């Protein structure tokens, strides 16, 4: 049997079924009218953000990285919890706007912003995190044509990366940000051109679980910000320290010790150089805030045996859960936390693989896990489905179409 990832806190059993925010899985599936579905729980979002705030210095603002989960009702709920939103496309700009989010709280990073996206952002007062000198010049020209002072920040490609992070976004040649040594000249150029100067965005990596590595990266980020602000010859209004905090997906993963990260950051904040004395700091997090608050529910359609192995074939699959299938940036496939939702808490009775309904061997949601014996009609739960699920999976593959999503 292969181990399954750890089920996140906050889930209980009611009448032998998985309950999400106090609601039984089968009731949620009935309410959605269809399987598969993603269920996101408000109370788990609330608890996660509150816990992070309690751990972090008060001075640190918390932003939500929309690309982790842009579901409209979830965005609207997050608006009551976080201090800002980070988007990565014109499409996400439309989503935050539709969710009624104050666009003055939104910043827009990401390579390859088209002119129409730059214009939409500038016209709405969204801060642009500039990814290149070329993009900076296009933004300035568009702003001049609009007769508006654009809100501009520079995304810095740091000369270090986040140790142990699942996705490295800094250190060496990258399509993201502007190499640190070229940043001061561009900052001077933006300020001289009359832009509303919004400072730096420094993102060194994500999906790290090691508090010491995250704290070390934040310390380096502050040092780099101070040096670049000195060299730019202007005080720094804002500094986005990036993200980094991940969630436990796999067997053996431990949650980030956010209290340790917060304590280390508080020490740094108590000892900032003059050039950062009045700077507003934020972090931007996606999966840490929303990942564990979501569950993917899919129904078993068939139970079959092949060469002595049990397969539970579901109506879901990698077209909604690319990451759980191990095909979204993982090198070695390991099992996400999963369970038979309609037999939640029942003892393990057999080894089974939970597969999707796509004709590809890649479509495997749990490989040789230990489960209670399950049958067609039972619901399967894949946990840690709140981030990079619905929006980061190829829903149109094999004509399957998207899953339902509900916020409870």
Ligand X SMILES: *Cc1c(COP(=O)(O)O)cnc(C)c1O
* Residues near ligand X, by CB under 6 A: 65, 67-68, 86, 109, 203, 206-207, 243, 284-288, 387
When the beta carbons of 250 and 311 are compared against ligand X, the nearer one is: 250
d(CA 279, CA 271): 13
Q: How far is the CB of 283 from ligand X (least distance, A)?
A: 9
- Nearest residue to 254 (alpha-carbon basis) of 208, 209, 206: 209
Nearer to ligand X, 48 or 67 (CB): 67
Per-position DSSP letters for 230-253, written without gaps between them: HHHTS--SEEE----B----STT-
By C-alpha distance, which of 179, 85, 184 is closest to 126? 85
Shortest separation between residue 310's beta carbon and ligand X, angstroms: 34
* Minimum CB–partner distance for residue 234 and ligand X (Å): 23
Element (H, E) at 213: helix 211-232
Cross-strand bridge partners of residue 178: 156
CB of 196 to ligand X, least distance (A): 21
Least separation in angstroms between residue 208's CB and ligand X is: 9
Q: How far is the CB of 360 from ligand X (least distance, A)?
A: 26
Distance (Å, rounded) from C-alpha 117 to C-alpha 89? 7
Give the C-alpha separation, 257 to 245, whole Å: 9
Q: Coil, strand, or helix at residue 143? A: helix
* Spatial distance between the Cα atoms of 34 and 364, rounded to a whole number of angstroms: 21
β-pairing, 350-355 vs 379-382, is: unpaired
Nearest to 383 by CA among 323, 326, 337, 346: 337
Nearer residue to ligand X within complex by CB, 323 or 339: 323
> For ligand X, which residue has the nearest CB?
286
CB 211, CB 256: distance < 8 Å: yes
Closer Cβ to ligand X, 55 or 65, answer by number:
65
Q: Which is nearer to ligand X, 26 or 165 (CB)?
A: 165
Q: What is the smallest separation between the CB atom of 293 and ligand X, expressed in angstroms?
A: 13
Least distance to ligand X from the beta carbon of 108, Å?
10
User: Between vectors from CA 240 to CA 218 and to CA 166, what angle results, nearest 5°?
Assistant: 55
Cβ nearer to ligand X, comparing 109 with 275:
109
Residue 148 or 327 with smaller CB distance to ligand X: 327
Cα–Cα distance between 250 and 371 in angstroms, integer?
A: 17
* CB neighbours of residue 301 within 10 Å: 14
- Which CB, 85 or 371, lies closer to ligand X? 85
CA-based end-to-end distance of the chain: 34
């Amino acid at each position: 049997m292969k181990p399954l990832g750890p089920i996140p806190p906050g889930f209980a059993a009611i009448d032998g079924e998985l309950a999400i925010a106090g609601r039984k899985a089968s009731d949620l599936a009935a309410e959605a009218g269809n399987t598969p579905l993603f269920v996101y729980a408000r109370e788990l979002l609330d608890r996660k953000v509150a816990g992070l705030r309690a751990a972090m210095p008060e001075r640190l603002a918390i932003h939500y990285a929309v690309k982790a989960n842009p579901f409209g009702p979830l965005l609207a709920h997050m608006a009551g919890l976080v201090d800002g939103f980070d988007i990565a496309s014109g499409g996400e700009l439309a989503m935050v706007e539709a969710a009624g989010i104050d666009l003055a709280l939104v910043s827009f990073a990401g390579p390859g912003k088209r002119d129409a996206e730059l214009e939409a952002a500038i016209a709405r007062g969204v801060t642009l995190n500039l990814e290149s000198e070329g993009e900076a010049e296009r933004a300035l020209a568009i702003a001049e044509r609009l007769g508006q002072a654009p809100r501009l920040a520079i995304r810095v490609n740091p000369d270090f990366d986040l140790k142990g992070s699942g996705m490295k976004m800094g250190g060496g040649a990258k399509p993201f940000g502007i190499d640190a040594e070229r940043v001061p000249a561009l900052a001077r150029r933006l300020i001289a051109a009359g832009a509303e100067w919004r400072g730096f965005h420094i993102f060194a990596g994500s999906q790290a679980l090691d508090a010491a590595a995250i704290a070390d990266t934040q310390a380096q980020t502050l040092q780099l910000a101070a040096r670049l602000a000195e060299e730019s010859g202007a005080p720094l209004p804002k500094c986005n320290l990036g993200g980094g905090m991940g969630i436990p997906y796999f067997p053996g993963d431990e949650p980030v010790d956010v209290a340790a990260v917060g304590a280390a950051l508080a020490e740094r904040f108590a000892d900032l150089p003059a050039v950062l004395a009045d700077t507003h700091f934020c972090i931007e997090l996606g999966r840490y805030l929303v990942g564990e608050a979501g569950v993917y529910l899919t129904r078993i359609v068939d139970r079959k045996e092949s060469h002595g192995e049990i397969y539970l074939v579901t109506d879901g699959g990698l077209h909604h859960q690319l990451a759980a299938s191990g095909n979204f940036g993982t090198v070695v496939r390991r099992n996400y936390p999963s369970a038979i939702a309609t037999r939640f808490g029942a003892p393990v009775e057999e080894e089974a693989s939970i597969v999707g309904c796509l004709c590809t061997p890649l479509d495997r949601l749990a490989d040789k896990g230990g489960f209670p014996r399950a049958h067609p009609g039972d619901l399967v739960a894949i946990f840690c489905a709140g981030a990079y699920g619905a929006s980061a999976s190829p829903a149109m593959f094999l004509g399957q179409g998207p899953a339902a999503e509900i916020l409870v």
